[in-house]
């Protein structure tokens, strides 16, 4: 009897643990819909005794040109997708090296930054997708974008576009020019090695291309209104 009951105990323990994690996740999603959230990387720095820079600002206090640059660079389908760009995800999953940033929407990156860990793996991507779909259903697009812009990492201990704007350009996020917004956008894939205020030639070319095509379209305005 003891041996037979062991699998049941394990099953119950796993079940209750899963339900507890779901409850915590649901509570955080509801809380972060109204209060400034912190990312797992921010929490990790606090736990290890490291500080970080972050000043939370609403979307209305971020330069529209910078917002357009980030959306254009990171997730051109942001206003149209449900949190996941399925066409891009299928293409990336077919590659030999597995899933990478190329399939990540802004919503998926927000999900990862808030609830998961850095790195690339099928397991993390498998968790990231349903979390992103949940955020896509319960948060307005403008809330998702605002949170992302305030928790994205822009260098060692630098989180959020306000801290990044002040560190690299000595101004607030509301004053960023299209060129500065584009330089911040192209730094996001590798913030540890890309300095927006001292860009390499390749990064300057990427930023110039973003400035050329990043315009706040009527669809984007309606999406974020």
Model pLDDT for residues 32-90, shown as the tens digit of each residue: 999 999 999 999 999 999 999 999 999 999 999 999 999 999 998 999 899 998 888 77
Q: Which domain holds residue 113?
A: 37-224
**DSSP per-residue letters across 58-92:** -GGGS-HHHHHHHHHHH-TTTTTSSS--HHHHHHH
User: Do residue 216 and residue 203 come from a single domain?
Assistant: yes
Look up residue 116 and give its DSSP letter.
S
Same domain, 125 and 167: yes
Q: Are residues 53 and 24 in the same domain?
A: no
| 207 DSSP 8-state letter | H
Instruction: For residues 193 and 189, give the distance between their C-alpha atoms in angstroms, rounded to a whole number.
Output: 9
Question: Is the predicted pLDDT of residue 155 greater than 90, yes or no?
Answer: yes
d(CA 10, CA 141): 40
Output the pLDDT for position 104: 86
Q: Tell me which DSSP letter residue 118 carries.
A: S
In this predicted model, what pLDDT tens digit does every residue of 169-215 receive, in sequence order? Answer: 999 999 999 999 999 999 999 998 999 999 999 999 999 999 987 76
- Tell me, yes or no, whether 116 and 154 share the same domain: yes
The two three-digit tokens of residue 69, written as one number: 């640059």
The predicted structure's pLDDT at residue 205: 95
Same-domain pairing of 77 and 132 = yes
Question: 10 and 86: one domain?
Answer: no
Same domain, 17 and 45: no
Residue 136 · residue 144 · CB < 8 Å: yes
Domain with residue 50: its CATH number is 1.10.3810.10
Q: In total, how many domains does the chain have?
A: 2
Does 16 score more than 60 pLDDT? yes
| Same-domain pairing of 184 and 218 | yes
pTM: 0.89
How high is the pLDDT of residue 221?
57
Residues 44 and 28 placed together within one structural domain of the fold: no
Asked whether 15 and 8 are in contact (CB, 8 A), the reply is no
Q: In terms of domains, do 186 and 154 share one?
A: yes
């Amino acid at each position: 009897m003891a041996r037979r009951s062991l699998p049941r105990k394990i099953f119950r323990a796993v079940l209750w643990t899963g339900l507890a994690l779901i409850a915590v996740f649901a509570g955080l999603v509801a809380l972060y819909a109204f209060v400034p959230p912190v990312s797992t990387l921010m929490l990790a720095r606090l736990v290890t005794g490291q500080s970080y820079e972050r000043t939370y600002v609403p979307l209305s206090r971020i330069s529209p040109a910078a917002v357009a640059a980030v959306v254009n660079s990171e997730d051109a389908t942001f206003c149209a997708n449900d949190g996941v760009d399925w066409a891009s995800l299928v293409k990336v999953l077919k590659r030999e090296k597995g899933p990478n940033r190329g399939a990540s929407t802004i919503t998926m990156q927000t999900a990862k930054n808030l609830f998961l860990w850095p790195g690339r793996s099928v397991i993390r991507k498998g968790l990231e997708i349903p979390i992103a779909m949940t955020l896509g259903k319960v948060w307005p697009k403008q809330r998702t974008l605002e949170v992302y812009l305030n928790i994205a990492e822009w260098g060692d201990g630098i989180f959020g576009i306000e801290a990044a704007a002040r560190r690299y350009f000595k101004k607030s996020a509301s004053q960023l020019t299209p060129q500065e917004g584009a330089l911040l956008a192209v730094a996001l894939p590798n913030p540890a090695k890309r300095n927006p205020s001292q860009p390499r030639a390749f990064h300057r070319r990427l930023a110039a291309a973003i400035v050329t095509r990043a315009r706040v379209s009527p669809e984007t305005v309606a999406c974020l209104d």
